[in-house]
């Protein structure tokens, strides 16, 4: 079923209905899976086909747990690609399953290329009718405006979205992103451009189909970038395992609690290995650990950010 | 069979043996395939599975034609991803087949991510023992040094390589790449960093496993960047259909005719649709058009650049 409302509005609706801005990152790693999935592996070294199948089943179970709780999931393409073509089949299944369970699917692929090649990526990934069927894709900006335009055009046609890397959460992110020219840093230039291409597609809540990725590990920049990109949803990675807290991400939200979604991957999907959940649930009850970790993150964000206002957002006039 | 010599030396050896620096870009597009491949499609709209199978067969035939002539091929991931999981199976087959035919395979995926996720991409794609089995992968630099390190480490371990985007061939490439700060442009910063990480892995010809992508559409920058990156192979896209000529790319080579490989995609694989070849060969003899277009490009580069010296390169002392 093709998406019938614009991506930004759909993301807002999902966040309001669930009353929180949590994105669960699906970053499966073979060495951290609960034993119920690895038990089927051959004794010494599993085949990539076995690993891919374990990822598929593991992610489906995660989706079953989190679908009633959160608005979106973010599969990380790299871990599926690591399994070769079998991994890609698993990825397609996971995307379809998450959508079937009513979740928004943001595929984290950080793709890009020039002109007609970018168009092929956009056609491949964006929208329910596409062959992969994601609602949104993360995209890299280094190749410039004409590499982003094909994504924006396809996203607009198909009520889907993209999130352009603006300020990433890794320690080395600043090497090129923080370079200052005429007083303006590279990531600020990218942010200004990203907002300019999102603006024309703005929906009922003022946001368009072009969002931005800004790491939770840079709290000051999150507030600055919220102001600099009034028409862009911000996808915030780096909460939890990477060190970002609810206080760190509060600047990403607007007054209504909209405008930002916050991702946690390991902190949720491998909660059974984390201090606090490990003792309580152990590996046997890993799904319960996922559920409680998700609820704890929701509570944390609702308490310490404007996301607490999400469930009270009043529908604007039509 | 794992690669037994470092990637840079292997690329040099292949270029010297073939006596030219041509990379054939495998960018299949359904609407440009010879009818022999599309005839099998269903009347109205082919399935992605049908398109993927057509790409696989088409690329294998291209490989059969060019394997005796050129050192390397560059499959463009986007067009295979556009076909979904079936396309990824076709891509894996094409990579394996090209390697089996003795070609160096540079996968054009422009991947990157942070830390351990970058490591997953590197593990997935780099080296003959990896699940995809490419010799090299194109990589985007926006995420900074710690996103490149995992690729360099894996490339070094596995005698494989990466090509980092430095200055791309598209008109919009300058939007962020040309930003000047303290007199230094962004792409120059990236170039300096890329050379610094390639240097420690330098092999017999002075080049390391980290190369750079610099478009043929910027002739002055090619010469500057050849000088700025004495330890990096340069992968030059943009020859032919994108407007770059042999004269435009001459600055990319060193005095020995090494240091650069030049890609042409549409100009070779769809030669049967190009002026000059179309009249002579038509669609029925599309393979002959591919062969002659490849030979013409080889001749053009051998005549107008130092690549003409390649077959005379003397093996340095061991």
Judge whether B2 lies within some domain: no
Residue A316 forms part of a structural domain: no
Window 247-286 of B: residues touching A by CB (8 A cutoff) are none
In a domain, A213, yes or no: yes
pLDDT in tens, chain A (318 residues): 567 899 999 999 999 999 999 999 999 999 999 999 998 787 678 999 999 999 999 999 999 999 999 999 999 999 999 999 999 999 999 999 999 999 999 999 999 999 899 999 999 999 988 999 999 999 999 999 999 999 999 999 999 999 999 999 899 999 999 999 999 999 999 999 999 999 999 999 999 999 999 999 889 999 999 999 999 999 999 898 778 899 999 999 999 999 999 999 999 999 999 999 999 999 999 999 999 999 999 999 999 999 999 986 545 444
Greater confidence (A128 vs B119) lies with B119
pLDDT confidence of residue B264:
97
Helix (H, G, I), strand (E, B) or coil at A114: coil
Residues of chain A with Cβ-Cβ distance to B84 below 8 Å are 88, 92, 124, 131-132
What average pLDDT is seen over chain B?
A: 95
Task: Tell whether A129 lies on the interface with B, counting CB pairs under 8 A.
Answer: no
Q: Write the ipTM.
A: 0.96
Cα–Cα distance between B300 and B314 in angstroms, integer?
Answer: 23
How many domains does the structure of chain B reveal?
Answer: 1
Average pLDDT of span B160-164:
98
- Mean pLDDT to the nearest integer, B118-143: 97
Q: Provide mean pLDDT across the span B171-194.
A: 96
Mutation target among A27, A114, A193 for the B interface, most CBs of B within 10 A: A114
* Contact flag A84-B78 (C-beta cutoff 8 Å): no
Q: Do A110 and B113 touch (CB under 8 A)?
A: yes
Across the interface, whether the CB atoms of A186 and B186 are under 8 A apart is answered: yes
Contacts of A147 in chain B (CB under 8 A): 168, 170, 172
Q: Is B96 on the interface with A (CB under 8 A)?
A: no
**The pair of three-digit structure tokens given for residue B62, joined into one six-digit string:** 């291209």
C-alpha distance from B209 to closest chain A C-alpha (Å): 21
**Which CATH number is A197's domain given?**
3.20.20.70
* Residue of chain A nearest B190, judged by CA positions: A176
* Whole-angstrom distance, CA of residue B20 vs CA of residue B257: 9
A41: which 2 tokens? Answer: 């592996």
Which residues partner with B105 through β-bridges? B73
Query: Of A126, A77, A211, A239, nearest to B112 (Cα)?
Result: A77
Per-residue confidence (pLDDT) for residue A276, from 0 to 100: 94
Catalogue the E-assigned strands of A34-115: 72-75, 104-111
Residues 176-205, chain B, touching A (beta carbon < 8 A): 176-177, 179-181, 186, 189-190, 193
pTM (2 decimals)? 0.97
Any chain A CB within 8 A of the CB of B171?
yes
A111 and B78 in contact by Cβ < 8 A? yes
Is B239 in contact with B251 (CB distance < 8 Å)? no
With 60 as the cut, is the pLDDT of residue B317 above it?
no
- Note every long-range contact of B237-241, with CB atoms under 8 Å and residues 24 or more positions apart, other chains counting: B237/B25, B237/B168, B237/B169, B237/B213, B237/B263, B237/B265, B238/B169, B238/B263, B239/B263, B239/B264, B239/B267, B239/B297, B240/B264, B240/B265, B240/B266, B240/B267, B240/B268, B240/B297, B241/B265, B241/B266, B241/B267
**CB–CB of B186 and A179 under 8 A?**
yes
The reported pLDDT for the residue numbered B318 is: 44
Query: Of the given ranges (A82-86, B38-42, B164-168, B176-180), which has the lowest mean pLDDT?
Result: B38-42
Give whole-number Cα distances, A218 to A193, A261, A262, B109, in Å.
20, 15, 13, 29
Task: Please identify among residues 21-60 of chain B the ones whose CB lies closer than 8 Å to any CB of chain A.
Answer: 27, 48
Nearest to B177 by CA among B234, B218, B137: B218
User: Catalytic residue among B18, B110, B167, B280, which?
Assistant: B110
Q: Is the residue at A314 inside a domain?
A: no
**CA B255 to chain CA mean position, Å:** 21
> What are the pLDDT digits (tens) for B234-276?
999 989 877 889 999 999 999 999 999 999 999 999 999 999 9
- Taking the Cβ of residue A125 and every Cβ of chain B, the question of whether any pair is shorter than 8 Å is answered with yes
A85 touches chain B (CB under 8 A): yes
| Assigned domain for B1 exists | no
Domain assignment present for residue A318? The answer is no
- pLDDT score recorded for residue A42: 76
Does B181 sit within 8 Å of A81, measured CB to CB? no
Strand-pairing partners, residue A163, are A138, A211
B286: closest CA of chain A, how far (Å): 23
Residues from chain A contacting residue B89 (CB–CB below 8 Å):
85
Query: In A, which residues are within 8 Å of B110 by CB distance?
Result: 111-113, 140
Rounded to a whole number, what is the distance in Å from the CA of B152 to chain A's nearest CA?
15
Sort B303 into a burial class: Cβ within 10 Å, 0-12 / 13-18 / 19+.
exposed
Residue A123 and residue B81: Cα distance in Å, rounded?
9
A95, part of any domain: yes
Domain that holds residue A35: 7-308
Domain membership flag for residue A106: yes
Instruction: Cite the active site residues of A.
Output: 110
């Amino acid at each position: 079923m093709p998406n019938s409302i614009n991506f930004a509005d759909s993301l807002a609706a999902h966040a309001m209905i669930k009353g929180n801005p949590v994105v669960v990152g699906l970053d499966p790693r073979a060495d951290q899976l609960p034993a119920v999935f690895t038990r089927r592996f051959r004794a010494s070294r599993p085949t990539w086909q076995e690993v891919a199948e374990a990822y598929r089943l593991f992610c489906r179970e995660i989706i079953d747990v989190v679908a009633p709780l959160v608005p979106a999931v973010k599969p990380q393409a790299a871990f599926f690609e690591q399994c070769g073509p079998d991994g890609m089949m698993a990825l397609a299944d996971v995307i379809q399953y998450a959508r079937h369970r009513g979740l928004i699917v943001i595929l984290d692929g950080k793709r890009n290329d020039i002109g007609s090649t970018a168009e092929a990526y956009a056609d491949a990934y964006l929208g329910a009718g596409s062959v992969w069927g994601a609602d949104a894709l993360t995209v890299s900006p280094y190749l410039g405006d004409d590499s982003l335009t094909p994504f924006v055009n396809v996203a607009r046609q198909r009520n889907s979205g993209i999130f352009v890397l603006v300020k990433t959460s890794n320690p080395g992110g600043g090497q090129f992103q923080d370079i200052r020219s005429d007083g303006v840093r590279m990531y600020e230039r990218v942010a200004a451009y990203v907002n300019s291409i999102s603006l024309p597609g703005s929906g009922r809540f003022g946001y368009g189909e072009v969002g931005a990725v800004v790491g939770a590990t840079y709290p000051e920049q999150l507030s600055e970038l919220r102001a600099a990109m009034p028409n862009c949803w911000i996808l915030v990675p780096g909460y939890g395992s990477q060190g970002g807290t609810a206080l760190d991400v509060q600047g990403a939200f607007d007054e209504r609690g909209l405008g930002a979604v916050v991702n946690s991957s390991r902190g949720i999907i491998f909660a059974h290995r984390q201090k606090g959940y490990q003792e309580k649930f152990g590996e046997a009850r890993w799904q319960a650990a996922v559920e409680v970790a998700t609820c704890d993150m929701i509570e944390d964000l609702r308490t310490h950010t404007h996301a607490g206002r999400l469930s009270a957002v009043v529908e604007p006039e039509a």
